[in-house]
Amino acid sequence: MEQQDKNPIRGRGASDNPANRFEGKYVDYELDEETGEKPAQDTKLMADDSKEILSKNDSPDIPFTYGLNPYRGCEHGCIYCYARPTHEFLGFSAGLDFESRIMVKYDAAEKLRSRFASQKWNPEPITLSGVTDPYQPIERELEITRSCLEVFAEARNPVGIITKNYLVTRDIDLLSELSEYNAVHVTLSITTLNRDLARVMEPRTSQPNRRLKAIEKLAGNGISVGVNVAPIIPGLTDHECPQILEQAREAGATHASYTIVRLPYGVKDLFKEWLEQHFPDRKEKVLNRIRDIRSGKLNKSEFGERFHGEGNYASQIRNMFNIHVEKLAMNKKERGLSTQHFRRPQKGQLGLFEM
């Protein structure tokens, strides 16, 4: 029975619901009486009544001050996701809860318009979202992110978008409007080009070829777009970096960045269990490579080191990335977004009638 509890769950990254590190509680999902296995968990949505719509960041190694997260928790289910432990602040688990118990900011657009309308707001770029994906599957139905983009376009406040989902192309009309004022940049994160690997590692994201297609479609509409080779997983996906860059460039990406996998708190155990389930023959190689770039640990949170690691192997990855970026003529122009066309919207619906 214990072994069955650790079987992969179709359509989910995690197969367990480890104890919340703050509360020490372990709340697992019941096994199916007939099969003795865990059933696929339905996604449940809950209203997020956070007072502030923008999250302020003061980390010295993150290049933006404000982020907007329409959702907390992410149905994409990426097993390596560094944001999983944030769900523990809400009383949930970093495991299955993170990808099946989604907090939704239904009034995000209304609060964003109020923020922009306030004389206290000095226009500056906002990242959408910086923690969880703004285009995760439920966005297709709820359109919370789209409603926020309508406010960004109305105010012409610059926005940077990071996603793994082709769904971003749905909003090309609004992105094109922002692009006219140099007020938008979109980044598609691509971890692997291997469909089978992506299916078990990031089960509800768009497949890699769809993300490349999204880059092509955005670039074809004149929208600034780049690729984030992220996260690079040493011993599992690092060899794919050159090919990801080449295909993204061919699709129209002009900018590129990368990060190396981060495994904070309970993500370490979830990731180790996932390797045991899907790649037992590579498990120790991958973990040892990660330790090699994290000073013997599976995670280091120090500023300046957490994204790219340190040591010889981290240097090899950095050099490989830089050589190919230079070869492909990426990152040749500034990606700065403009605030000069910002216009303060009116609160409520009056702003819709402005000329």
pLDDT category at 4 given cuts 50, 70, 90 is very low
Distance CA(245)–CA(248), nearest Å, equals 5
- The mean per-residue pLDDT over the stretch 128-143 comes to 95
Predicted confidence (pLDDT) per residue in 293-352, tens digit:
999 999 988 776 778 999 999 999 999 999 999 999 999 988 789 999 999 998 665 444
pLDDT of residue 29: 57
Q: Crossing angle for the helix pair 312-327 and 283-293, nearest 10 degrees? A: 90
56, β-bridge pairs: 66
Distance CA(256)–CA(287), nearest Å, equals 26
pLDDT at 30 over 80: no
188, β-bridge pairs: 163, 227
pLDDT of residue 128: 95
- The mean per-residue pLDDT over the stretch 86-108 comes to 95
pLDDT category at 28 given cuts 50, 70, 90 is low
Q: Is the dihedral of CA 172, 173, 177, 183 positive or negative?
A: negative
What are the sequence ranges of the domains in the chain? 2-331
- The mean per-residue pLDDT over the stretch 136-157 comes to 98
Predicted confidence (pLDDT) per residue in 35-69, tens digit:
555 556 789 999 999 999 999 887 766 777 899 99
Closest CA to 69 of 111, 105, 24, 16: 105
pLDDT of residue 348: 60
Write out the two tokens for 269: 């155990």
pLDDT at 208 over 90: yes
Write out the two tokens for 33: 């009486």
Task: Assess contact for 234 and 206: CB atoms under 8 A.
Answer: no
Predicted confidence (pLDDT) per residue in 163-199, tens digit:
999 999 999 999 999 999 999 999 999 999 999 999 9
CATH of domain 2-331: 3.80.30.30
pLDDT of residue 355: 35
- The mean per-residue pLDDT over the stretch 110-120 comes to 97
pLDDT category at 88 given cuts 50, 70, 90 is very high
Q: Which is more confidently placed, 99 or 347?
A: 99
pLDDT at 3 over 50: no
Predicted confidence (pLDDT) per residue in 226-282, tens digit:
999 999 999 999 999 999 999 999 999 999 999 999 999 999 999 999 999 999 999
- The mean per-residue pLDDT over the stretch 74-90 comes to 96
Distance CA(322)–CA(102), nearest Å, equals 37
- The answer to whether the predicted template modeling score (pTM) of the entire model surpasses 0.85 is yes
- The mean per-residue pLDDT over the stretch 280-299 comes to 95
pLDDT of residue 353: 39
